[in-house]
Amino acid sequence: MIGPTGGELLLRRLQSVAVLNPNETALILSLNQRPRRHPVRSQISADGFDSSGPRLIVSGWACRPRILPDGRCQILSTLLPGDLAGDTGDGRPLAQAAVIALTDMATVGARSVFDTIARDPGLYRNLGRGLQALGRMEEAQLLDHVVRLGRQSAIQRVAHQLLEFYHRCRAVGLVDGGRFPMPLTQETLADMLGLSLVHVNRTITQLKRQNMIEVRSGIAHISDVAQLALIADYPAADEKEGAPRFGDGSRSGGSELGEYTPASARQQSCL
């Protein structure tokens, strides 16, 4: 699979949240080295203190799983091309969790970038902020994940997760007319969405029958994003690319404001 280089992917994401000067752009594009390859199921980034520094994902998907003592598994987050695996210096628990390849992957080491920024923070101010914004997006995804798991039905979970993948792929230019790579097995989706494999299958089948989605050999297709977003309670994203939703810490994008009144006082309507 030949695709964009690591630097191009990351640059694309950063430019949607920050304006980079030539030095910064050059620094990111210095990541266009020959990537290291990782087979499925191998560990990209270790649990706890990190050895080799953060790595930029060039191709392939990964996840941060948490295995329970009885063998069950809950996936905490996913990593797509253009994402960074490993601790980028602030020791956040999520970033420190182990990263496991869900497909064959290619990554490049990104330690040099962070070292360079640390050496001259002034010169790379925007870049530093941009990278922080990417970290914030990760936390926002985590919040969405909580809502999905806590309060959405199986159909909504699947739809919502697919929409997240769609938008994340779009942010790195991997969407082509509603089609985007989605190489996860239904079992992995189950571990992600807190469902059983069988039920994920039935749910996807149902969405297929309703012509909401297609999934075949690692490619997903969403014909009508807005319609799917409706059933998933997925917040209406402005179709305009490059809207700086995370430029300096605005809202995540999923919540209604309003006081928290006990549910008894709230009314139900939708679905």
Residue 233 partner contact from DNA, its own copies, none using kind-dependent CB cut-offs of 5 to 8 Å: its own copies
Instruction: Report the SS3 class of residue 106.
Output: strand
- Of the listed pieces 53-61, 121-129, 149-157, 249-257, which binds DNA according to CB under 7 A? 149-157
Residue 123 or 140: the one with the smaller Cβ distance to its own copies is 140
Rounded distance between C-alpha atoms, residue 51 and residue 67, angstroms = 22
Rounded distance between C-alpha atoms, residue 223 and residue 254, angstroms = 22
CA angle, 60 then 114 then 247, to 5°: 80
Residue 31 or 145: the one with the smaller Cβ distance to its own copies is 145
- Which amino acid is residue 186, in one-letter code? Q
- Which amino acid is residue 105, in one-letter code? M
- Which amino acid is residue 209, in one-letter code? R
Residue 153 partner contact from its own copies, DNA, none using kind-dependent CB cut-offs of 5 to 8 Å: DNA
- Of the listed pieces 7-15, 77-85, 191-199, 219-227, which binds DNA according to CB under 7 A? 191-199
Instruction: Report the SS3 class of residue 215.
Output: strand
Residue 22 or 259: the one with the smaller Cβ distance to its own copies is 259
- State which of positions 238-267 bind DNA (CB under 7 A): 262, 264
DSSP conformational letter for 246: T
Rounded distance between C-alpha atoms, residue 120 and residue 5, angstroms = 26
Residue 88 or 152: the one with the smaller Cβ distance to DNA is 152
Residue 198 partner contact from its own copies, DNA, none using kind-dependent CB cut-offs of 5 to 8 Å: DNA
What does the binding site for DNA look like in residue numbers (CB under 7 A)?
A: 153-155, 185-187, 194-199, 201-205, 217, 262, 264
